[in-house]
């Protein structure tokens, strides 16, 4: 996508470069190979047609081109769209990019009038609006995919709001929680991810069309009209910034990278939970694969691949950041490298979100195994300390010390805290009574966490209801 500020670029439909008037020879084959972008930016054809239609109508309304010419251009663009939709459009490398391919084809279909479409427009603002439209659409799609994943998580969380499992810190059993509570943590994460995409979309919703090459246009254009026609809130306020900034893509890629990180964490838990050592969940054959040599294997490959996608997505953010980091204003050809990493990142993210939503809906928790594990590792020790504070009015640090001594005793005997006798408890702290046993079960521990956002099933259901209403 080469800088081209000409108001009426040449295009003869016979392979002559659109910017060829200044040059007496064709580019070297190697130059053509490194310069051409039609192989990947043809994905922007719908956005390019939308921008061209808005621009043509504005030029007509402002009297820059005649209504006759404008109608002929719009009719020609409709014919181009039919070819693109039917797969008969002749993409050609000699026209470099999607913008020149469409313009050249338009000239073949309607003749020299096609050249008037580029009045008051450059490929610099043309690609800026096309790419911004594409990224905006990608953000909208991603929000929808995130909400679908949240709904899948909500359905499982609601079904298993009471199912006990161990909560971990340092991947060591910490305190009992419920499976519903654990899944709701990801509902919150993905909710913030959706918010980041919405925020990015709001910031990028300014239209660069009309900035031309870098300095604006001498023609009496109406930039608010084209902005409104394309669904933007307003035109961009600085022509240099309009054509030279790609922070809208960087922000979207940053949101994608954070989302991919959350997906990777959930994928890692699915991988762990499906191992025989955990045995917390099962996946059907729909989201697992076998081994070519070990017939017993059932591998969570979908989760592993989602886990790996964060590398590709984060790599895309890094790629575009490095491309943009040293560019002087305004447009530089380096910026042609903005599209491939962005396309690849959102392709990978979309696949990951769809696969994760599928896995969440597909999984079945092994509630007995999880409940048994919920009491492992003295997970109710904090409940004992809290009981000492509440019942005996003991300072928490003293209660912490007493509880640590009880854990040491139980560990030495090879039993859980609930298996210690009252005499053994009272040997550590004489004021302890039989009432202590009521708090030493995982179910009692989870049920007692009634603070807002806690793991008590009643609190989990309240959060589920809040999110269901929000996503309705």
What residues pair up with 207 in beta bridges, in sequence order?
235
Q: How many other CB atoms sit within 10 Å of the CB of residue 138?
A: 22
Q: Write down the residue that tokens 């594409």 correspond to.
A: 134
Round to whole Å and give the CA distance between 116 and 202.
Answer: 33
From 366, 409, 382, select the one nearest 169 (Cα to Cα).
Answer: 382
**Which residues fall within 8 angstroms of residue 297, CB to CB, at 6 or more apart?**
290, 291
- Taking only Cα atoms into account, the Rg of the chain, rounded to an integer number of angstroms, comes to 31
C-alpha neighbours within 13 Å on the C-beta side of residue 63: 1
Give me the DSSP letters along 269-300.
HHHHHTSTTT--EE--GGG-B--SS-TT--B-
CB 383 within 8 A of CB 448: yes
Q: Measured between alpha carbons, how far is residue 403 from residues 301, 408, 410, 437, 441 in Å?
A: 42, 9, 10, 13, 15
Give me the DSSP letters along 125-162.
HHHHHHHHHHHHHHHHHHHHHHHHHHHHHHHHHHHTSS
Pairing of strands 206-207, 234-235: parallel
Rounded to 5 degrees, what are φ and ψ at 281? -140, 165
Q: Measured between alpha carbons, how far is residue 289 from residues 50, 277, 300, 302, 339 in Å?
A: 43, 19, 7, 8, 33
CB 451 within 8 A of CB 169: no
CA angle at 171 for the pair 167 and 175, rounded to the nearest 5°:
25
- Provide the annotated active-site residues: 170, 291
Round to whole Å and give the CA distance between 355 and 260.
Answer: 12
Pairing of strands 364-365, 281-282: antiparallel
**CA 285 centroid distance within chain:** 27
């Amino acid at each position: 996508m080469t800088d081209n500020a000409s108001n009426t670029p040449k295009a003869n439909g016979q392979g002559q470069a659109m910017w060829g008037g200044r040059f007496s020879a064709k580019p070297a084959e190697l130059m053509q190979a490194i310069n051409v972008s039609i192989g990947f930016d043809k994905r922007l054809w719908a956005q390019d047609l939308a921008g061209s239609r808005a621009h043509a109508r504005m030029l007509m309304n402002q009297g820059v081109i005649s209504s006759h010419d404008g109608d002929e251009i719009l009719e020609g663009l409709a014919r181009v769209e039919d070819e693109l939709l039917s797969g008969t459009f002749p993409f050609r490398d000699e026209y470099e990019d999607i913008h020149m391919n469409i313009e050249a084809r338009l000239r073949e279909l309607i003749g020299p009038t096609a050249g008037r479409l580029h009045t008051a427009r450059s490929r610099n603002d043309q690609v800026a609006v096309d790419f911004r439209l594409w990224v905006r659409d990608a953000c909208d799609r991603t929000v929808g995919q995130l909400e679908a994943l949240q709904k899948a998580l909500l359905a499982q969380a609601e079904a298993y709001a009471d199912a006990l499992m161990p909560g971990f810190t340092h991947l060591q059993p910490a305190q009992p929680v419920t499976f519903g509570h654990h899944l709701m943590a990801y509902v919150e994460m993905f909710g913030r991810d959706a918010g980041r995409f919405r925020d990015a979309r709001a910031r990028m919703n300014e239209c660069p069309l009309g900035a031309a090459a870098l300095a604006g246009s001498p023609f009496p254009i109406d930039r608010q009209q084209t902005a409104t026609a394309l669904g933007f809130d307003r035109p961009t306020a600085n022509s240099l910034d309009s054509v030279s900034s790609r922070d809208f893509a960087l922000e979207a890629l940053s949101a994608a990278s954070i989302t991919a990180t959350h997906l990777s964490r959930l994928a890692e838990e699915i991988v762990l939970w499906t191992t025989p050592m955990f045995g917390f969940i099962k996946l059907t054959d729909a989201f697992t694969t076998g081994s070519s040599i070990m017939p017993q294997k059932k591998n969570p490959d979908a989760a592993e691949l989602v886990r790996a996608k964060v590398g590709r997505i984060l790599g895309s953010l890094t790629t575009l950041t490095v491309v943009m980091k040293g560019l002087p204003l305004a447009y530089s050809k380096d910026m042609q490298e903005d599209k491939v990493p962005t396309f690849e990142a959102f392709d990978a993210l979309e696949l990951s979100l769809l696969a994760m939503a599928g896995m969440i809906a597909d999984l079945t928790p092994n509630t007995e195994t999880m409940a048994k594990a919920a009491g492992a590792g003295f997970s109710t020790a904090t409940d004992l300390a809290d009981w000492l504070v509440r019942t005996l009015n003991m300072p928490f640090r003293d209660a912490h010390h007493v509880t640590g001594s009880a854990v040491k005793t139980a560990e030495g005997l090879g039993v859980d805290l609930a298996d210690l006798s009252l005499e053994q408890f009272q040997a550590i702290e004489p004021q302890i009574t039989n009432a202590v046993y009521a708090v030493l079960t995982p179910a009692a521990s989870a049920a007692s966490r009634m603070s807002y956002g806690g793991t008590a099933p009643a609190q989990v259901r309240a959060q589920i209801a809040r999110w269901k209403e929000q996503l309705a």
